[in-house]
Amino acid sequence: MRVVLFDRIGGARLRRPGGPSGAGVGLRSLTRCEKGMSLMADLTDRTAQQRMEAHHGQLVAAVDESVAALERACLVDDTLAAEAAAARFQTLLEGDILPHASGEERSFYAAAEPLNGALVRSLTHEHEVLRGLIDTCHACAADLGRPADRLACLGVAHEIRALFSVHAQKEDRFVTPLLLERTPEGTVARLFVEMHANA
Ligand SMILES: [Fe+2]
Ligand SMILES: [Fe+2]
């Protein structure tokens, strides 16, 4: 039985033979070797590009949804709801967005740097700004008792949403196409595996 595919990284769900139908299995439950073998099963450069774009789409949508929930809670002046929404947003940022950025730096960025250093430095800078905003958001979320606190947290969340959306578009439009054009066949597929196998 083919064991492939991840909804956390831009595709369908990962299943193990004999596992419950439709039950996703977390990447961290697999060994590094298993992850790499599973990912490589069907992967070409083109499908890796498509999965990267799909994964970016999922992350952008998740950030949009999370910020919208925080906004709704802030606008109705509900401290408990705002705290819950801020906590969910923080989980998304720390559990998905930051590991994604670190994985890119180890794989896609490292491979693209000799081909276009300015592009990679620009994107790495955006990661640094993003990390700073996430730290600020975390600090703001610690106290949402007053309307001004909630609005400050919401402002940072909007900055994160705007930055991450444009940043992901830049990667899809410039980094992956650059690697497809300027590296040997199979490179993008390998980088995609490396990015997620080491997560
Ligand atoms: Fe990135
Ligand atoms: Fe990305």
53: in domain: yes
The ligand placed nearest to the CA atom of residue 169 is: 2
- CA-closest candidate to residue 115, choices 30, 12, 187, 8: 187
Please tell me the distance between residue 99's alpha carbon and the centre of ligand 1 in angstroms: 10
104: in domain: yes
Please tell me the distance between residue 77's alpha carbon and the centre of ligand 1 in angstroms: 33
- CATH number, domain at 147? 1.20.120.520
**Interval 58-82: pLDDT, tens:** 999 999 999 999 999 998 888 999 9
> How far is residue 69's CA from residue 80's CA, in Å, rounded to a whole number?
13
Please tell me the distance between residue 121's alpha carbon and the centre of ligand 2 in angstroms: 14
106: in domain: yes
**Residue-range definition of the domain harbouring residue 113:** 44-197
Please tell me the distance between residue 116's alpha carbon and the centre of ligand 1 in angstroms: 15
Q: Residue 38's pLDDT is what?
A: 61
Where would I find the H helices in 5-44? 32-40
Up-side HSE of residue 158: CA atoms within 13 Å toward CB?
Answer: 9
Please tell me the distance between residue 55's alpha carbon and the centre of ligand 2 in angstroms: 8
**Interval 96-132: pLDDT, tens:** 999 999 999 999 999 999 999 999 999 999 999 999 9
- Report the 10 Å Cβ neighbour count for 145: 10
36: in domain: no
pTM for the model stands at 0.81
Please tell me the distance between residue 195's alpha carbon and the centre of ligand 2 in angstroms: 11
Q: How many domains does the chain have?
A: 1
